[in-house]
Amino acid sequence: MSTEAASVVLSRKLEDGSTDGEVLELLRLAPLRRPEVVLSMRKEWRGRRDRQKLRFWDKLEQAAFAALDRASFDDMDWAARMIFSTFGSSWRLNRLIGMKREAIGDIEESMVVYENMLEKDPNNRAALKRQVTVLRTSGKLSEATAHLCWYLKIYLSDVDAWCELADLYISAGSYPQAIYCYNEALLYEKSNWALYLRLGDIYYTLADESSMLTARHYYSKSLTLNSKHNVRAMYGLLLSSQALESGPRAQELKNKNLKNWVQEALKTVYKDKCPSKLSLLPLQ
Partner 1 sequence: MTGDDLHLDVRIRDWVLIPVAIVTFCMGIMLQSLGILVRRPLKIHQHKIREGATLSRLGQFKRNAGVLPPDQFASRLAFFVEGDDAFLNQQKAQKSLINSFMSPDFMASQLTESMLSFLPQMVFGAFIRYTFGGFTVCKVPFPLPQRFGSMLQSGIELASRDLDVTYVSALSWYILNLFGYQGVYRLVLSSPNMTAGTQSANSRSSASALSGIITDQVEMGWNQSIQGEKATLKKLICKWDVPSAEDELLQIKFKEVYKQ
Q: Which residues bind partner 1 (CB under 8 A)?
A: 51-54, 56-57, 86-88, 90-92, 121-123, 153-157, 179-180, 183, 186-188, 190, 196, 214, 216-218, 220-221, 223-224, 227-228, 254, 257-258, 261, 264-265, 268-269, 272
The residue (of 36 and 50) whose beta carbon lies closer to partner 1 is 50
Minimum distance of partner 1 from residue 167's CB (angstroms): 18
Residues 70, 71, 77, 78, Cα dihedral to 10°:
-40
The residue (of 40 and 90) whose beta carbon lies closer to partner 1 is 90
Instruction: Judge whether 49 and 69 are in contact, CB under 8 Å.
Output: no
Long-range contacts of 162-170 (CB under 8 A, 24+ apart): 163/195, 164/132, 166/198, 168/136, 168/141, 168/144, 169/145, 170/202
The residue (of 42 and 254) whose beta carbon lies closer to partner 1 is 254
Minimum distance of partner 1 from residue 108's CB (angstroms): 26
Minimum distance of partner 1 from residue 71's CB (angstroms): 26
The residue (of 36 and 121) whose beta carbon lies closer to partner 1 is 121
Instruction: State the DSSP code for 174.
Output: -
The residue (of 35 and 182) whose beta carbon lies closer to partner 1 is 182
Between the CA of residue 62 and those of 24, 89, 163, 226, what are the distances in Å? 8, 18, 24, 31
For the chain, how long is the longest CA-to-CA vector? 72
Distance CA 167, CA 147 (A): 14
Minimum distance of partner 1 from residue 267's CB (angstroms): 10
Minimum distance of partner 1 from residue 102's CB (angstroms): 22
The residue (of 40 and 260) whose beta carbon lies closer to partner 1 is 260
Distance CA 31, CA 7 (A): 9
Distance CA 44, CA 77 (A): 17
Intra-chain end-to-end CA distance of the chain, in Å: 37
Minimum distance of partner 1 from residue 137's CB (angstroms): 26
